[in-house]
Amino acid sequence: MTAVAGTGANAGKINLASDDGKELTIELVYDGSDVTSSKVTTSSDGVYAGVAVFHQNAFMNSRGCYVAKEAVNVMEKGYIWVALASGVTPTAEASAYVTSAGTFTTESSGNTLVGKFKSGSETGSNNDAIALVSLD
């Protein structure tokens, strides 16, 4: 497992990724000691492991999807075209954040920093707004 501590707007967050591609299970345990300085919290947010690169086996509403506990090809570093959140108009070198919905934005609040935009908004093959991102 790889753990990376967040910085800046993501300070206090830890991104976890499985190094062997197997399912990642996270358990938080708190023994109740020193309650004046210790606090354990959990989040219902998913763990960012990278961007899913390709899928062809399952479809829902004419789009590829993933079945629970199915293996997923994930890109952690490199350049990839991504779907933009509604109304986002990135510029090259702007910080790129992923939202809980899996779309990308320039807005840091409540989102996870993943790299930098390398293009502005383009129109994808499905008329979706897309942009090139460099994952760090």
User: Dihedral through CA 28, CA 33, CA 39, CA 41, nearest 10?
Assistant: 30
pTM for this model (two decimals): 0.59
pLDDT band per the 50, 70, 90 thresholds, residue 42: very low
Phi, psi of 122 (to 5 degrees): -125, 165
Ramachandran region of residue 60, left (φ > 0), alpha (ψ -120 to 50) or beta? beta
**In a 10 Å sphere around its CB, with 0-12 CB exposed, 13-18 middle and 19+ buried, how is residue 25 labelled?**
exposed
* The total number of structural domains that make up the chain: 1
Q: Is 9 helix (H, G, I), strand (E, B) or coil?
A: helix
Which pLDDT tens digit goes with each residue over 64-108?
666 777 777 788 889 999 999 999 999 999 999 998 888 999 999
| CA 17/CA 74 separation, integer angstroms | 10
Length of the chain: 136
**Do strands 95-98 and 122-123 pair parallel, antiparallel, or not at all (unpaired)?**
unpaired
Which domain covers residue 17, as residue numbers?
2-135
Question: Average pLDDT in the 4-12 region?
Answer: 64
How is residue 122 annotated by DSSP? E
Residue 122 confidence (pLDDT): 93
